[in-house]
Structure 1
Amino acid sequence: MKSNTARAIPVVDLPSWAADACHELRAILGAIAVEDVDALCGLLAQAGVIAVHGLGREGLMMRAFSMRLFHLGLQAIPVGDMALPAIGEGDLLVASAGPGHFDTVAALMRIARSAGAKTVLFTAEPGAPLRSCADLTILLPARTMARPVEHSSGPLALPMGSAYEGGLFLLCEHIVAQLASRLEIDEVSMRARHTTLE
């Protein structure tokens, strides 16, 4: 027999939750190797065409990254966009595979390398199989969809793969800031490249 008594839904205090989420993201970003980020900035600054790729919500983060790279004046285009030219020597593929492997990402990385382009992998897994296809791997030690909550230590504010995706977004924004400083590009110049067809 069903009870007519409504169960109380726990109230989540927004400031407290936000503090927990920020703490979670800060721990992820604090564990990223600074020398790897610096190496990636160097590759991006020197690249001709920069192709970016990711799947699902990771893909949205990578598309946001390509937009900011474009605002810096770099030729960054998501894989799958019809405007993406052939890539080869001097070009770069930057791909995200939080869980460590996706067949489509593996195929794209092999194609890029065989064409002579360099490849960069963002992942959460130290033992990611795709590391063997990458010239540079950036490790974000965060929970992804591939790691259930019971395999994580301590309470988590961000569900499913949100910690990895949020960490990826913040890391990419940091890379954009680093590149802007390195290339001596100010926000006025970046804003001038923003689309007006809105």
Structure 2
Amino acid sequence: MGLINKHMESASKKLDKDEVEVFVEKILKSKRVFLVGAGRSGLMAKAFAMRLMHLDRDVHVIGETITPSVREDDILIAVSGSGETTFVVSAAEMGKNIGVEVVGVTSYPDSTLGKLANHIVVLPGRVETAEKKDYIDRQVSGEYESLTPMGTLFEQTALAFFDGVIACLMKKLGKKEIDLKEKHATIE
């Protein structure tokens, strides 16, 4: 856990403040916010969507049965550590064709998603599998395995980042925790 916490601290220092400020402003200016992600990254997107709903934003998750159609004045936040997840990239492409503002949240700005998005936020954390398969070769060459398996550092970083964005939005919107509780589920 200590190593993961060190990663989080390091990742927070590597965030581009301008990327983050633009991200926050795009959310504030959008009529509706749509999120898309797959697997665990999708779970992080859903967690962010829930908090945006608590802030009284009109927010939807792509792929849910009650998601309305996306329109030009909406924003689509696409979350993919690799930036290559087929479902996420396809949704971003469709959104782009409609004229939606696409924001990519990824570890790889040069990925398909990174190149497709109107704006990106680069989150450190996604580590591709080492090219050298032999353990000794990897150790000698300095190619170490990730602290956590299969993109977990990206997902943890995304959750912390999104929670930080919510705190920023709360401040900008003049909201307190009591305001968010008013929108919290009453039947669980």
Instruction: Give your verdict on TM over 0.5.
Output: yes
What SS class does the counterpart of residue 33 from structure 2 fall into? strand
Quote the Cα distance in structure 2 between the aligned partners of 1:154 and 1:111: 37
Where do 4+ consecutive residues of structure 1 move more than 2 Å? 146-160
Matches within 5 A, 1:125-140: 125-140=108-123
1:120 aligns with 2:103: yes
Asked whether the 8 Å contact 1:24–1:156 carries over to 2, the reply is no
When structure 1 is superposed on structure 2, of 63-72 and 29-38 the one drifting more is 29-38
Q: Deviations over 1:18-73 (max 9, x none)?
A: 22210012112211101111101111111112110111111111100000000000
Structure 1 residues 147 and 123: CA distance shift in structure 2, 3 A: farther
Alignment of 1:3-42 (within 5 A): 18-42=1-25
Q: Which residue of 2 aligns with 1:193?
A: 183
Q: 1:137 to 1:152 in 2, by over 3 A?
A: farther
Unaligned runs of 5+ in 2: 132-137
Unaligned segments of structure 1, at least 5 residues: 1-17
Tell me what 2:67 maps to: 84
Give the root-mean-square deviation of aligned CA atoms.
1.9
Take 2:142 and 2:101, find their aligned partners in 1: how far apart are those partners?
33
Confirm whether residue 173 of structure 1 aligns to residue 155 of structure 2: no
Other-structure match for 2:134: none
Is 1:93 the counterpart of 2:76 in the alignment? yes
What is the one-letter code of the residue matched to 2:173? L
Give the greater-gyration-radius structure (CA): 1
Task: Specify the SS of the correspondent of 1:38.
Answer: helix
Residue 53 of structure 1 aligns to a residue whose secondary structure is: strand
Identity between Structure 1 and Structure 2 (%): 24
| Deviation string, structure 1 residues 64-112 (Cα, Å, up to 9, x no partner) | 0000000000011111112211111210110111112122222211211
Identify if the C-alpha distance between structure 1 residues 187 and 152 changes in structure 2 by more than 3 Å, giving closer, same or farther.
farther
How many residue pairs are counted as aligned between the two chains?
180
TM-score of the two chains, using structure 2 as the length reference: 0.88
User: 1:126: how far off?
Assistant: 3.1
- Counterparts of 1:61-72 in structure 2, within 5 Å, are 61-72=44-55
Query: 1:155: Cα distance to partner?
Result: 7.3
